[in-house]
Structure 1
Amino acid sequence: MRPSPMITVTRGSLGSTAAQVLEQVRAGGVVHRDEIAVRTALSVATVGRVVGQLAEVGILRERPDRTRLGGVGRPGVPVEVNPDRFVTIGVHLGRRIATVALGDLTGRVLDSQTHERRSGESPDLLELSRSAARLLGRAPGRTPLSAGLVAPFRELGLDHESLGAALHDLTGLDVATADHIAAVAASEFLHRRHGTPGVTLYVYARDTVGFAVAVDKGVQTEVSRVGSLTHFPTGSSERCSCGRTGCLEAAAGDASVVAAAAATGLVSAPTIDAVYAAVAEPGIRALLRARARALGEVAAAVRDMIAPDRVVLVGQAFTGCAAVLEDITRAFHEATALGEVPLSFTRFGSGIQAIAACTIALGPVYDDPLAAATHATVPSPVTS
C-alpha cells in the first residue's frame, strides 16, 4: 500500500526506463520505437530492448498492421499498450455511493458496479472486494495488477492508510490511495495527454467542493496543493454543519440544492437528476443559476490565488446542467481580477468516480511496469 498525498501523473525522465517507454506509448497511442527514442532521449537500442521486455510480459503489443511504409527492420513495427491482458481495480468511496470498477492499462473503464452507502457508516471493504471479484469473473483471461482506493477521506472521517492496508489484505494487490479531488484532477490531466505545460488548476464541485493543482515541470508532472472549499464564504444565508452561514458546500453542494428544490414542490423526486430535469421551471432555473454564479465566482477567487496557466472545472455541480454553463462562465470571467485565462469543463460526466479510482490504480504499474507484470503471474488473489 502506498499512501500518497501527492500524485505523480507523469514520471518523465525521473522514471525508470520501462516507465518512460510505457508513458510515451500510452500518450501516443500507437508509437514507433524510433519515435519513443526521440521523445525520451533514450537510445534506439535501449528502447528496442525495453519494448521487447514489455511486450513479452504482455503490457505492450505490436501492431504490424500499422507498420510504417518503407520502414526497414523492427523499428518500423509500432507498439501500443495492450488493453486485453491486464486490468486494475478501482474503488471509490463517496458519501452515498461506493463504486468498484475494472480499468485497462490505458485508463479506460471496462466495467463497474455501484453500492449504496449509509451516511457515516464504515465502508464494507469485504463486500467491495467481492464485487471486484464478480467484475473479474465477467472479464475472463484478464489478470489484476494493482488497485486504487479513492475517497474524500477527511470529509468522511476515514483513514486512508488503514483502509488501503485492509484492501491490500483482501485483494493481495498493491494499493495506491488518493484524495478524491486530487484523483479527479489526475484523471483529467492524464486523459488530456500533451499540451498542458505549466500549472493547471482543477476546481471540483458536487457533494464535496475543493481544488487541486497539477504542475508540469517538464521532467515530471505532479498533482499537489489539494485544498477543501467546503467552508469558503459565499455570503449566502444558508446554515452550514459547522454552525456558521454562507459556507460554499452548504450554499451550493448537491445536498443543499436538492433540499431547496424539493421544498418548492416542483421536482419529481429529491435527487439532483430530478432537479436538473426540472430546469424549465422558473423557480428551479433560478435556483440552479444562483448556484452556477456562486460556483463561478469561487472558481475565479481560487484562480486569482493560484494564478494558473489554465482552469478546468470538474464535477457534476459544474457540468450536470447544460442550461447554466453560460452562467458559470460569465460569473467566472466577471469575478476574476487577473484577466483572461483558458477555461474549460471536464470531459467526464457521471463516470468520473470509476475513472478516478482506476487512474490512481495505474500508479504502481507505471512506477515499475515490469515488476508489476512479473508479480501478476500468480492466479487472481481477489477475495471471492
Structure 2
Amino acid sequence: MRSTTLTSASDSRKGRLRQHVVAPSLHLSDSAAAAVFRAVRLRGPVGRDVIAGVTSLSIATVNRQVIALLHAGLLRERADLAVSGAIGRPRVPVEVNHEPFLTLGLHIGARTTSIVATDLFGRTLDVVETPTPRSAQGTALASLAEGARRYLSRWHRRRPLWVGVAIGGAVDGASGQVDHARLGWRQAPVGSVLAEALELPVSVASHVHAMAGAELLLGMRRFTPNATTSSLYVYARETVGYALVIGGRVHSPASGPGTIATLPAVSELLGGSGQLESTVSDEAVLAAARRLRILPTARGSVTELVRAARKGDQQARELLAERARVLGEAVALLRDLLNPDDLVVGGQAFTEYPEAMAQVEAAFNARSVLPPRDIRVTMFGNRVQEAGAGIVSLSRLYADPVGAMRRAGALGSPLRVAGDAAPESSV
C-alpha cells in the first residue's frame, strides 16, 4: 500500500513538472492580446486609438485586451500623460509595467554559461557568467539549477515569471530534454530539473533558434512583417549553426535543427578536418595561433589574439582574416542554397573582430553565384548569447501575455516596486 502511495505521489510530481516545461514561442503571435502588448511595448506610452490603428483591431477589442493586461499587471495607466480635456479612461495612455517583474535566461555554452535577468522589454538587467560544469549530466544540471536558484534569490523586489534556456545540441522543446554531444548529455532533463529547482515555468530552445528569435522579436524594424519574408541567421563562435525565419516565425523542425558543422571547409593556415566547425571554431583558431607561436603554447584566448592583431601582429591579422574568408564562403553556400530575403550573421567569430567583416563580405561576394546581397551583423554584438536566452524566457509572455501570467501564478497580486537594483554578487 505504501509503495502504491509513493508511486502515485512520484507520478503526480512528474506530471506537475511536465506542465511547467513549456515549448518556447519564437514567432510573432497574431492573437489580439499579443498584438496589443507588442504595440504598447514598441510604442508606449500610447493611447488605445493609436493601438487600434497599429494593430488593425477594433477599439472595442483593444479596450478589452488593455483591461485584461492591466488586470494581469503587465500594463499600467499613465493618467499624467492624458490629453488635457479628454474624458474617460480610454483616453488615458498605457505603458508596459516592467519594474515589478523579471525573467531568467540561461545560455548554456560548451565552455561558459551565462545567467541573465531580463525585463519585459527584453533589456538585460544583469548578467553573470560561470564555467559550464563538465561533470556527469545529472551533477552538472543540479549545479546549474542551484546556481540559478541562488542568483534568483538575490532579486528581492522583482517577481520572476519564467525561465528560458538556450543551448546547443538537439533540443526537444515540448519536453525540455537535450542531447548535447560536446557536453556528453543524452536526453538530459534540462527543463524539468530547472522547473523543480526554481518552481517556475521553463522553456528550452536551440541556442541558434533563440538568437534568431531575438533578432525577430527584439530587433523588430516594423510592427508586422511581410508574411512572405524570410531571413537566414548564421552563427559562429565555439560552434557553428544556422536558423531560418519565415513569415515571422523561427522554423523549428520537430526532429531538431539541422547542422552546418560538417560543411566542407579547407584552410592550410587554420588546419581542421576539412569541415566547417573544426576549421573556424574558437578552439581551432587558438590551436592554429599556438602552432604559429602567436600565443603561448599552454594558454591564450581569442581576445588576446584579437588584441595582438590590433597591435599590429601580422600573423594574428592573417589568421583572423583566414577565419573570416572561410566563414564568408560558408555563408555564401547557405545563401545560394536557401536564397533568403534577409541575411544576418552573429556570434563572436563575426563580432569580436569586426575589422575582418570586409574579408567575410569579399569571400561571400566572390563565392555566391546569386545577385549581390548585403550581410547584416546582429544588432546585439557580443551580447547575442544573452539576448537569445532572454527571448526564450520572454517568448511565451509575448505570444500569450495573460495566459503566461496565469501559468506563472502571477495573476493574483504582482509586486509593484520600482527601481530594483541588480544583485551585488555573482553566482
TM-score by length of 1: 0.87
Q: Does 1:370 align with 2:402?
A: yes
Match among 318, 334, 340 for residue 308 of structure 1: 340
Find the residue that maps to 2:121 and give its secondary structure: coil
Asked whether the 8 Å contact 2:166–2:205 carries over to 1, the reply is: yes
Asked whether the 8 Å contact 2:235–2:346 carries over to 1, the reply is: yes
* Partner of residue 8, structure 1: 26
Q: Aligned partners of 2:102 and 2:361: how far apart in 1?
A: 38
In structure 2, relative to structure 1, the CA distance for the partners of 1:334 and 1:67 (3 Å cut) is: farther
* Structure-to-structure mapping, 1:257-296, within 5 angstroms: 257-267=285-295, 269-279=299-309, 280-296=312-328
Q: Aligned partners of 1:118 and 1:72: how far apart in 2?
A: 59
Please report how far the alpha carbon of residue 159 of structure 1 lies from its aligned counterpart in structure 2 after TM superposition: 5.1
Asked whether the 8 Å contact 1:293–1:331 carries over to 2, the reply is: yes
RMSD of aligned residue pairs (Cα, Å)? 2.6
In structure 2, relative to structure 1, the CA distance for the partners of 1:239 and 1:277 (3 Å cut) is: closer
Q: Aligned partners of 1:334 and 1:69: how far apart in 2?
A: 60
Amino acid at match of 2:76: R
Q: Which is further off, 225-234 or 272-281? A: 225-234
Q: Does 1:130 align with 2:146?
A: yes
In structure 2, relative to structure 1, the CA distance for the partners of 1:118 and 1:373 (3 Å cut) is: closer
Q: How many residues align?
A: 370
Q: Which is further off, 22-31 or 313-322? A: 22-31
Match among 212, 217, 222 for residue 190 of structure 1: 217
* Partner of residue 369, structure 2: 337
Q: Does 1:249 align with 2:249?
A: no
Please report how far the alpha carbon of residue 187 of structure 1 lies from its aligned counterpart in structure 2 after TM superposition: 0.7
Amino acid at match of 1:172: E
* Partner of residue 359, structure 1: 391
Asked whether the 8 Å contact 1:27–1:194 carries over to 2, the reply is: no
In structure 2, relative to structure 1, the CA distance for the partners of 1:143 and 1:260 (3 Å cut) is: same
TM-score by length of 2: 0.79
Q: Does 1:210 align with 2:226?
A: no
Please report how far the alpha carbon of residue 378 of structure 1 lies from its aligned counterpart in structure 2 after TM superposition: 8.3
Q: Aligned partners of 1:165 and 1:97: how far apart in 2?
A: 21
Q: Once the two structures are aligned, what percentage of the paired residues are identical?
A: 34
Q: Which is further off, 164-173 or 113-122? A: 113-122
In structure 2, relative to structure 1, the CA distance for the partners of 1:25 and 1:379 (3 Å cut) is: closer
Find the residue that maps to 1:36 and give its secondary structure: helix
Asked whether the 8 Å contact 2:145–2:193 carries over to 1, the reply is: no
Q: Aligned partners of 2:251 and 2:86: how far apart in 1?
A: 39
Asked whether the 8 Å contact 2:107–2:385 carries over to 1, the reply is: yes
Please report how far the alpha carbon of residue 247 of structure 1 lies from its aligned counterpart in structure 2 after TM superposition: 0.5
Q: Aligned partners of 1:361 and 1:167: how far apart in 2?
A: 13
Asked whether the 8 Å contact 2:378–2:384 carries over to 1, the reply is: no
Amino acid at match of 2:43: G
Q: Which is further off, 204-213 or 78-87? A: 78-87
Amino acid at match of 1:209: V
Q: Which is further off, 320-329 or 281-290? A: 320-329
Amino acid at match of 2:284: S
Q: Aligned partners of 2:91 and 2:265: how far apart in 1?
A: 58
Q: Aligned partners of 1:298 and 1:69: how far apart in 2?
A: 58
* Partner of residue 156, structure 2: 140
Match among 73, 83, 87 for residue 58 of structure 1: 73
Larger radius of gyration: 2
Q: Aligned partners of 2:159 and 2:73: how far apart in 1?
A: 11
Q: Aligned partners of 1:340 and 1:69: how far apart in 2?
A: 53
Please report how far the alpha carbon of residue 266 of structure 1 lies from its aligned counterpart in structure 2 after TM superposition: 2.3
Asked whether the 8 Å contact 2:122–2:391 carries over to 1, the reply is: yes
